[in-house]
Amino acid sequence: MKRSLFILAIIFALLAGGAGWYVNSKLPVRDGEIAMSRLQAPVTLRYDERGVPHIRAESEADLYRALGYAHAQDRLFQMEMLRRLARGELAEILGPNLVETDKLFRTLRIREHADAYVARQDKNTPTWKALEAYIDGINQYQDTHARPMEFDALGIPKRRFTTEDTVSIGGYLAYSFAAAFRTEPLLTYVRDQLGPQYLKVFDLDWHPDGMLGSKPALASADWKGLAQLAQLSHKALEGAGLPQFEGSNAWVISGSRTQSGKPILAGDPHIRFSVPSVWYEAQLSAPGFELYGHFPGLNPFAFLGHNMDFGWSLTMFQNDDVDLIAEKTNPDNPNQVWYHGQWVDMKRTEQQITVKGQAPVTLTLLESPHGPIVNNVMGKNAGQTPIAMWWSFLVSANPVLDGFYEANRADTLDKMRSAAEKIQSPGLNIVWANAKGDIGWWAAAQLPIRQQGVNPSFILDGSTAQADKLGFYPFSANPHEENPARGYIVSANFQPLSPTGMQIPGYYNPAERGQELNRQLSDSTIKWDLAASKALQLGTQTDYAPSILKPLIPVLRSVVSDPEKSPSWSGWPAGKAITPLIRWVPHCSTSSCST
């Protein structure tokens, strides 16, 4: 008996020791020395009490190579998931439930665009050398360390990261900003099936016919497919378990309005909570270069942060950079569409999607002159009308990596403005301040020139000139402000105004958040400090709820006062149910409502 217990103790000890060794082998390295290849000089990597890396190097190449190494040891699984989502490769590790998500992202053509984008880049530019050094740092970490536990659990093989992966993730970010898939089918359905009068409930500038006198003819099967496409677009991001970008607040206050006499910049990108965070926080130091920033996965350039001269934050511009286009097909040849007065063949390609535990799935991709056919992903539920997608991300030059590389080291107003001009997709509001006391905001995007009278909030008719683009507006026509006399700037996803007065189609949020910020910041008697700005950041009140409740409460009162109309839920009378709503002081704090 004692011998058996002794043997069991030994087995348990071995198992515990093995488990400890296994877990320890997966942990990031926080002290000691690491031998990295291709470093020109020693690099110092220090982690502070919050786990934020502070990297000091003697050259830019060494700096970005070390950043890639540090980023990988903390976030390798996140990087793997991001690149697989963007390139349509999740089903390979997560199984058949992710096939539809893979189909959607392959249909968007992000992977082909990324490959072509990388192929035409000048690899000798400072931006590209920095990116390649960063990717090399990631791969060096992966080559010399055990796979993270998530890789073991899911059976993910090691595979080298590439610059194409970085560009692909940029496509995922741009897609996550675009609301066209969720809104344009809905608005078109309301207009065509219910009547244009019902569009008035939506907060948008609208032409009842989308374009005066012309709208596509869609059958009921087409509407069913479009509805499912809208749902798939939403579920694709949900099912992948990755956070979504859902809005933002930012403001900047001039030194004339602050206690210190220096500008105050506040930014709050509204990204759904996730573990790990979307952002990777790090400080980078090299001779002539200091940056403290927040980096997205698989990207070496800070999207928000500050150097010694500029600080900047971001909000979503929410400009409409996607058009959905209903194509007219040839009755005698369904592979042809009517384009500029003639029947034109659609391009057809096939791809194989690897599926864990099952046979590969063949995906047929179609492309019209307007762009990829996106409802084809629905298979038999796609309807008879091909719906093409025009997306500025796929057609613009979009030197966005150059833009953020230059923003990270901008030391003059002209350099920062030039950096913002290179950020073309996704559309972003860049709110900034500099050490000289300037404040500003630029809406960074390449805005298409559409045909006169076209409202891209609706599905367009591909058999006419509706979907044709006449080029892009110059950056100077984009909404922007620099050093306004009122002494502050607010950005909260509401519709901005162009200096030229042109309308900028988009899927903007209601203005209440911006109005509340403007109300508080417009009080010229207040001298702002960091504490007051933080309090504003944590504010819990806007006018949105009162504006909704004002007409709603009388209707609810009339309903609950009528015994025949008044419902109950699980024996709880409706009158009691709306009492907290009537008494509610419209703050969004957790203690703002009590029964």
Q: For residue range 404-452, what is the model confidence (pLDDT) as tens digits?
A: 999 999 999 999 999 999 999 999 999 999 999 999 999 999 999 999 8
- pLDDT tens per residue across span 119-129: 999 999 999 99
pLDDT reported for residue 12: 60
For residue range 134-176, what is the model confidence (pLDDT) as tens digits? 999 999 999 999 999 999 999 999 999 999 999 999 999 898 8
User: Distance of alpha carbon 148 from its chain centroid, rounded?
Assistant: 26
Q: Show the low-confidence residues of the chain (pLDDT under 50).
A: 21, 206-213, 569-571, 595
- What is the predicted pLDDT for the residue at 28? 80
DSSP classification of residue 193: I
d(CA 29, CA 559): 64
Q: What is the pLDDT of residue 569?
A: 46
pLDDT of residue 238: 67
pTM for this prediction: 0.90
CB-CB neighbours of 230 under 10 Å: 18
Rounded to whole angstroms, the Cα distance separating 106 from 377 reads 9
Residue 595, both tokens = 């029964």
Query: What are the residues whose beta carbons fall under 8 Å from the beta carbon of 431, sequence distance 6 or more?
Result: 250, 251, 252, 265, 267, 312, 313, 314, 315, 440, 441, 489, 491
Domains of the chain: 181-240+321-394 (2.30.120.10), 245-289+305-320+396-451+465-538 (3.60.20.10), 544-585 (no CATH)
What pLDDT sits at residue 503? 82
How does pLDDT run across 517-573, given as a tens digit for each residue? 999 999 999 999 999 999 998 888 877 777 778 888 888 777 776 655 555 544 456
What pLDDT is stored for residue 200 in this prediction? 74
| Three-point CA angle 370, 372, 373, nearest 5° | 100
Q: What pLDDT is stored for residue 549 in this prediction? A: 80
> What amino acid positions are annotated as catalytic residues?
248
Q: What does each C-alpha distance from 115 to 119, 121, 124, 337, 455 come to in angstroms?
A: 6, 10, 18, 27, 32
Backbone angles phi, psi at 273, to 5 degrees: -60, 140
pLDDT of residue 141: 98
pLDDT confidence of residue 248: 87
Is residue 4 packed enough to be buried (19+ CB in 10 Å), middle (13-18) or exposed (0-12)?
A: exposed
Please give the mean pLDDT across all residues of the chain: 87
Q: Buried b vs exposed e over 205-225: b needs ≥16 C-beta within 10 Å?
A: ebeeebbeeebbebeeebbeb
- C-alpha distances out from residue 349 to 223, 229, 297, 334, 373, Å: 25, 21, 30, 15, 12
